Chain A
Amino acid sequence: MAGADDRVPVLRVRGVTKTFPGVVANRDVDFDLRPGEVHCLLGENGAGKSTLVNVVFGLYQPDAGEILVRGEPVRFRSSSDAIAAGIGMVHQHFQLIPVFTVAENVVLGTETRKGLVLDLDHTRDRLRDIATEYGIEVDPDARVEDLSVGEQQRVELVKALYREAEILILDEPTAVLTPGEVDEFFGVVRNLVAQGKSIVFITHKLREVLAVADRITVLRGGRVVGTQDVEGATQQSLANLMVGRDVVFEIAKGPAEPGAAVLRVTDLGVFDDRGVETVHDFSVEVRAGEILGVAGVEGNGQRELVEAIAGMRTPHAGRIEIDGHDTTHKSPRDVARLGVGHVPEDRNKHGVIGAFSIADNLVLNEYYRTPYARRLLRNDRAIDARAHELVEAFDIRTPGIDVPVDNLSGGNQQKVIIARELSGDPKLLIVAQPTRGLDVGSIEFIHRRIIEMRDRGVAVLLVSAELDEILTLADRVGVLYRGELVGEFDRAEATRERLGLLMASGRVDAAAPA
């Protein structure tokens, strides 16, 4: 490593400050990227990681400070300036056109023409070269919409390489991948570095940092709180640095004391919006006082399963029973009135109405009942009183209960939902992706609350794509693979490897302990 230090950094950020009205997103940030290294930018949501890379990529203009590429000061007025300087970025949300082929997507914006006709031969050749050089295989003529998420990400990478990027910025690249794909992706990253590329890797997942980084820079509240080599760093030390206090990873959790079955699902079949059967022959039981964790890569029927149980989607086969009542064809309100809390996977689409106040959102499914309503009239006093009570009890950080939920951070938005769904004294709690995109502090808080509910005898169905979350919370674990439950065992038998295999292949034999 010492030898590398003498070389000029390929990218250097000096004293960058960027403010938005009312917020300082980056304050006096220093950051340097050495040639051929993977440099992780670590921080919680809102720590300023995205702002920083957007400044580097020319999407934002810094208020102060400068950027040097290979020792030369540069001023990027737009992302095309950055691309011209050899910087490539893979966004968290892919910038691809689904109906175009890989080659068409790659060439977009730099098209070569033969007369009036788009000439893709040259592009195909280049893609083949890139494939051999970096080991990133993509079929140039495949349509992007037919590719898996992991493959689409490779297209994004190839796009940057096609434009001869020397510096690659990867924004939360693993968020959409399965554990197996993540390992594969790390291989690609290693390969790129071996070929002389330099990589800025943005993440908030500590495990990944330790697996892939050469050096780490931690951001907190818009400032750099530390830059260090990966040697000597531990998950604990990084987490403490990131959050600014001691983080507890292990949440105290006694053994489950399960009671009678509260949720009983038999041979369930559910169609998705396109009429494809995404849940198939699914049976499960969740008992009072236990947490059943359903692991699985997203898109294996989780959404339809949860919606069917919550009454938002009508199953075409099978039976759902909650607390002894048949709810197969019941409406969301009927299901909720049986004592079911539902934390939906899509916070902003289903969980809250962003433009409404915190108070309104806290009674979103109770607004028609006493004391929040007297016949047809809203009782604003009772609604406000409830809001004050829940804001206090669930530690929702807000200037007031009349603030639109949109103005809250993701963690606090989720707390609003958790507060609403957990406070109704439920018998069954359906929790889907409860901590997606949240900071460490909020995750810890929400996990504690879920375990508290379990200990009070609530049956909890936890659906999550985060293996860590499943392993932390669940008493029993099942894996959802292509709409079927392919494995179900006690937490003690559920190892990361076993679940990972089941999630990736759905095969039990492959998952059998060696």
Chain B
Amino acid sequence: MTDTTETTRERSGAHRFLDAYFAAAPVLVPVYAILLAFVVGGMIILAIGDNPFEAYWALVRGMFGSTDRIAASLGRSTPFIGAALAVAFAFRAGLFNIGAEGQLLVGATVAAWVGTFSFLDDFPALIAAPLVLTAGVVGGGIYGGIPGFLKTRTGAHEVIVTIMLNNIAVLYVRWLVSSQDPVILRDTNASVPRTEPLPDPARLPELVDSTPPLHLGFIVMLLLCVFVWFVLQRTTTGFEVRSVGTNPHAARYAGMNANRTIVLVMVLAGSFAGLAGAGEIAGTSGFLSPGVFVAIGFDSIAIALLARANPFAIVPAAILWGSMLTGAGLMQQETGLSIDVVRIVQALVLLFVAADVIVRTLFRVRRKASDALETTQLSTGWGSAT
């Protein structure tokens, strides 16, 4: 009896392999979720009466088929990175920031407004472009700070407040940009409602002239990821953010000021989204038109979840998201399938990431103790008393 039980303690080669496999579990679940989403999406395509392999092949070529398409995919992904960081950073503090949509839009609007200042024409690009981006940071930061402030002062839940603020931002910005009497931000020379185009010095340089272009904002977003990682892992503020997010009671016991942290996190999160919005104004279109950024903020929630709120994982997740949207066009062209198929696959990815029990059961991915970190952070939004 003793002999048989002793053997369970030995580490066989197979056992070590399993350990390594389980250690990779946090990565594996999203990867499997994507795989599973494509499989189920394929079945839907099959049900419509099309060939899923042809459709996916067209999609993949649409995503990465040429240098130009790769650049377009990265360009498309750029605002997703910033907006997803806004969601993920708040996640790490235990906050559900559903407001990236509104924060991005407000940031873009303030940037577009500052961009119309005539003196910018005379400034060198090294000053004008950062100024426009800073305007976005400030706009998004203030708009993100509001739900943080309301939460700490009145206990208003940030989910409700950010959702409502999204609506306010969308409708208010539409009015600002479209109103003809009085004219506020509308470019009266243009036939469609939009703001005046930014002067050249305020524009971000294009790296590749694709559609949409790959502009310097992509690099800015990559740097922002490094910044967020650095703040979280290397600063005392980041330690406070992670403490408040993981165990607010212990954070308070340890003398941390949870309220200050919550406001700070929401301001910073909003500014990330605002920067993403400003980057699009300065890098892609050069002006703001109503409805142009619809759903970027909402998709970013999915991206942040897919990346498990890890600032570096957000880059591939956002690129996957943006490139799928880019590639959908070619799929539609070649197979006649609606672009919505891609949206369905994206929705399935989110479904399988959120309901990760499905994936874990199907692929036998065991939950590790250290996984608890992510789980608590992603599920303490409602009703967590802070």
**Interface status of A404 (Cβ within 8 A of chain B):** yes
Residue from the list B5, B9, B252 in contact with A332, Cβ < 8 A: B252
For chain B, residues 208 to 247, give those with C-beta under 8 angstroms from any C-beta of chain A: 234-239, 242-243, 246-247
Chain A residues with CB under 8 A of B236: 367-368, 373, 376-378
A331, A332, A344, A353 — which one has the most chain B CB atoms within 10 A of its CB?
A: A353
Chain B residues with CB under 8 A of A312: 252-253
Q: Report Cα–Cα, A342/B251, bound state, in Å.
A: 14
Q: Is the CB of B239 within 8 A of A355?
A: no
Q: Report Cα–Cα, A292/B289, bound state, in Å.
A: 70
Q: Is the CB of A376 within 8 A of B237?
A: yes
| Category for how many chain A residues contact B | 35 or more
Cβ of A46 to closest chain B Cβ, rounded Å: 16
Chain A residues with CB under 8 A of B1: 15, 17, 28, 64
Which chain A residue lies CB-closest to B256? A333
Q: Is the CB of A355 within 8 A of B373?
A: yes
B8, B9, B250 — which one has the most chain A CB atoms within 10 A of its CB?
A: B250
**Interface status of B49 (Cβ within 8 A of chain A):** no
**Interface status of A195 (Cβ within 8 A of chain B):** no
**Interface status of B376 (Cβ within 8 A of chain A):** yes
**Interface status of A426 (Cβ within 8 A of chain B):** no
For chain A, residues 120 to 134, give those with C-beta under 8 angstroms from any C-beta of chain B: none
Q: Report Cα–Cα, A331/B253, bound state, in Å.
A: 10
Q: Report Cα–Cα, A105/B252, bound state, in Å.
A: 37
Cβ of A436 to closest chain B Cβ, rounded Å: 17
**Interface status of A461 (Cβ within 8 A of chain B):** no
How would residues 272 to 307 of chain A score, 1 for a CB under 8 Å from any chain B CB and 0 otherwise? 000000000000000000000000000000000000
**Interface status of B370 (Cβ within 8 A of chain A):** yes
**Interface status of A19 (Cβ within 8 A of chain B):** yes
How would residues 337 to 354 of chain A score, 1 for a CB under 8 Å from any chain B CB and 0 otherwise? 000001010100111111
**Interface status of B364 (Cβ within 8 A of chain A):** no
Number of B residues with CB within 8 Å of any CB on chain A: 30
Q: Is the CB of A353 within 8 A of B247?
A: yes
Q: Report Cα–Cα, A373/B234, bound state, in Å.
A: 10
**Interface status of A336 (Cβ within 8 A of chain B):** yes
**Interface status of B126 (Cβ within 8 A of chain A):** no
Q: Report Cα–Cα, A64/B7, bound state, in Å.
A: 14
Q: Report Cα–Cα, A355/B247, bound state, in Å.
A: 9
Q: Report Cα–Cα, A376/B234, bound state, in Å.
A: 9
**Interface status of A360 (Cβ within 8 A of chain B):** yes
A-B contact pairs, 19 of them (CB 8 A): A19-B8, A28-B1, A64-B4, A312-B253, A336-B255, A349-B247, A349-B249, A349-B250, A350-B249, A350-B250, A352-B247, A355-B246, A356-B242, A356-B243, A364-B243, A364-B254, A367-B239, A373-B236, A376-B237
Binding site for A on B (CB under 8 A): 1-2, 4-5, 8-9, 234-239, 242-243, 246-247, 249-257, 369-370, 372-373, 376
Binding site for B on A (CB under 8 A): 15, 17, 19, 24, 27-28, 64, 310, 312, 331-333, 336, 342, 344, 346, 349-356, 360, 364-365, 367-368, 373, 376-378, 380, 404, 406-407
